[in-house]
Structure 1
Amino acid sequence: MEINKLRTFVDLAKTLSFSETAENLYISQSTISKQIKGLEKELGQKLFERNNKNVTLSDYGKLILPNAKKIVLLSDWISKETSEFKNNSGQIRLGIIPTFANYDIFKQTMNYQKLRPDINLALQEIETNQLVNTLKQKQVDVAFIRTLMPEKLDFEKIIIAQESFTVCLNREHTLANRRKIELADLKDENFIMLAKNSLLYEPVINLCQKAGFEPKISFVSDRMSSIFQMVKSNQGVAILMYPQTKNSELSFVSLEPTSTNTLLFIRNKENHSKIENDFWNYSKQFEMPNRNN
């Protein structure tokens, strides 16, 4: 039984709202539904009753909720104790998004390791939709994430940069040489999309709907390399928040309208070890200026 499924059950039992739990756990509503269904299948019992969009706990759900809360609390306690042990041993666990190495902050982070060889900076690559929960559970000490709504994150923050959606196209595409592309001009294109459980899937769908069309999705993947390969093969276009890497077969063009994405370090609002504070203070020098303007 996965602890994340139990955590989702406990939170949903409290909110009785898929949207609120999605916001609390920083995952998509479809992921919550999948986790609850998976847990119900594993237990062989319904946990919730759903009628006309109303969600209520089933009798079985009420029965197991107290013990589910205990298990989640115990898991959090173990993670906290592990975190404190590792911090005292000179290790910082840094959770990062899969594209971390493509940003300048990666080089600056690696430079910190050179400056402090006595500290083991352990990088853990984790999907964006899992990073916040991993940090909440104290399985990492600091996380580098991207988000569309940084103001909703209840953590200490160091905002590093901002980026916007761009269109990724094959170099031979008729729109590849434009300086900017109107989203409505892509209504007849096939769309190559990141997976539904990514934090970018729904924003892309919403942008297209606001532009007056439903995107024709021809391929979905949770791997950026697969997305690029499909675009290279001229199978469609992709709307991504991704650094504009040099590639002879791809073109990245600004999109209008777009959404702004924030890249930042986050950590829990708690007492931290000396070495964790040392890394945090080092990272502050790369904070984006005038971020409140």
Structure 2
Amino acid sequence: MKLRQLKYFVATAETAQVSKAASALSISQSSVTTAIKDLEASLGAKLFQRTQQGMDLTDAGREFLASAYVILGKLEDAKNLRHRDTDSSGTIRIAASYTVMGYFLPYHLDRLRRLHPNLDIQLHELNRDSIEEGLLSDRFDVAVMLTSNITNARLESETLLRSTRRVWVASGHRFAQRRSIGFDEIADEELILLTVDEAANTAMKYWSYQAAKPRVSLRTSSIEAVRSMVANGQGITILSDMVYRPWSLEGKRIATVLPGSQVPTMDVGLAWRRGTTFSPQMDMIYAYFHKTFNSPFSA
């Protein structure tokens, strides 16, 4: 396995197209294609499904993407050892929503604390309404939240990551081997709705555009409950790749399939009060995330 293969794989996973990955990396499309084929051969697993829309990650591909991020992140950390900012200090007040706190932020907090060891990062976990109010009342400097849920026009935001939503089913489910499932078929199944971070409200919005109506069997704020119930064959759900894990707590496997009609992505990013003059500490946070998510591959 070569480092360039990891870089080409991550770039393809993030852009979902070989042509875009090649353009971002300033290399030929054939180089990207060859690297991915060699990587799949060395791993003994198919990482992408080739579709008309582009390159769609398989379950194995999504698992490997997490590992690739860790490897590339560690390499970047090693490169940055001589760039550690030990002179800058001060306090930054960061608010985050539940999903972001649990499935996105910890990795980046670790890297930020390595890069800026004297920066005091104060964290606050809240729901969207409380985060928006806190930003406007100057209780928080910046938020890391689901930017796709922001409603207040007095806030500015920048989306860092768009996480695809897929249908989750038990590994033995009749949908498990399908490439996509229509909403009319999904409506025949018992649907488990996650309520945290307004997930249920989002689901009802995209369901409102469908002729079929969902058969909701349970609403819960527990992602682990959803994971276990789906793995046990007690229903299906539609959730984002960011919170996906292939195994339930009982060790049962979960498969994912694309919905036949497009559903909105779950967007994660930064938010702050419109017109705010950034402090040096806010600049550090913004610069870190901007660099991390606006390169040909994220690490």
Common topology (TM > 0.5): yes
Equivalences for residues 1-293 of structure 1 within 5 A: 90-100=90-100, 101-103=102-104, 106-128=106-128, 130-148=130-148, 153-195=153-195, 198-243=197-242, 244-247=244-247, 248-257=252-261, 258-269=263-274, 270-288=276-294
TM, length-normalised to structure 2: 0.59
Q: Find the residue that maps to 1:139 and give its secondary structure.
A: coil
Contact 1:163 1:241 (C-alpha < 8 Å) held by counterparts: yes
What's the CA shift for 1:124? 2.4
Q: CA RMSD in A?
A: 2.8
Q: Which amino acid aligns with 2:257?
A: V
Residue in structure 2 matched with residue 58 of structure 1 by the alignment: none
In the alignment, structure 2 segments of 5+ residues that lack a partner are 1-88
Residues in 2 aligned to 1:130 and 1:232: alpha-carbon distance in whole angstroms = 33
Q: Give the residue type in structure 2 aligned to 1:212.
A: A
- Residues 213 and 164 (structure 1), Cα distance of their counterparts in 2 relative to 1, 3 Å cut: same
How much does 1:285 deviate?
0.9
- Contact residue 92 and residue 276 of structure 1 kept, 8 A: yes
**Residue deviations 1:62-119 (CA, integer Å, cap 9, x gap):** xxxxxxxxxxxxxxxxxxxxxxxxxxx822122223233434x642332111111111
1:142 CA displacement: 1.4
* 1:157–1:265 contact (8 Å) kept in structure 2: yes
Provide the rounded CA distance (Å) in 1 between the counterparts of 2:129 and 2:226. Answer: 18
Unaligned runs of 5+ in 1: 1-88
Identity %, equivalent residues: 19
The letter of the residue matching 1:97 is S
Q: Distance in 1 between matches of 2:212 and 2:152?
A: 29
Q: Secondary structure at the match of 1:99?
A: helix
Q: Are 1:184 and 1:208, in contact at CA under 8 Å, matched by a contact in 2?
A: no
Counterpart CA distance in 1 for 2:295 and 2:93 is: 26
Alignment CA distance shift 1:246-1:179 (3 Å):
same
TM-score, length-scaled by structure 1: 0.60
| Structure 2 residue matching 1:122: 3-state secondary structure | strand
Q: Report SS of the residue matched to 2:238.
A: strand
How far, CA to CA, are the matches of 2:197 and 2:284 in structure 1?
A: 32
Give the number of the structure whose alpha-carbon radius of gyration is greater: 1
Opposite residue 193 of structure 2, the aligned amino acid is M
Distance in 1 (alpha carbons) for counterparts of 2:234 and 2:129? 26
Shift of 1:272: 3.4
Contact 2:147 2:270 in 1 (8 A): no
Q: CA deviation digits over 1:27-65, x for unaligned, max 9?
A: xxxxxxxxxxxxxxxxxxxxxxxxxxxxxxxxxxxxxxx
1:98 and 1:173, CA in 2 relative to 1: closer, same or farther beyond 3 A? same
* Matched residue, 1:84: none
Q: Distance in 2 between matches of 1:179 and 1:116?
A: 44
- 2:36 equivalent in structure 1: none
Q: Measure how far apart 1:162 and its partner are.
A: 0.9
Distance in 2 (CA, whole Å) between partners of 1:156 and 1:209 is 28
Question: Are residues 138 and 262 of structure 1, via their aligned partners in 2, closer, same or farther at CA, if it must alter by over 3 Å?
Answer: same
Q: Distance in 1 between matches of 2:256 and 2:130?
A: 27
